[in-house]
Chain A
Amino acid sequence: DAGVTQSPTHLIKTRGQQVTLRCSPKSGHDTVSWYQQALGQGPQFIFQYYEEEERQRGNFPDRFSGHQFPNYSSELNVNALLLGDSALYLCASSLTGTSGVGEQFFGPGTRLTVL
Chain B
Amino acid sequence: DIVMTQTPLSSPVTLGQSASISCRSDQSLLHSDGDTYLSWLQQRPGQPPRLLIYKISNRFSGVPDRFSGSGAGTDFTLKISRVEAEDVGIYYCMQATQFPHTFGQGTKLEIK
Same assembly: no
Measuring CB to CB, which residues of chain A are less than 8 angstroms from any residue of chain B? none
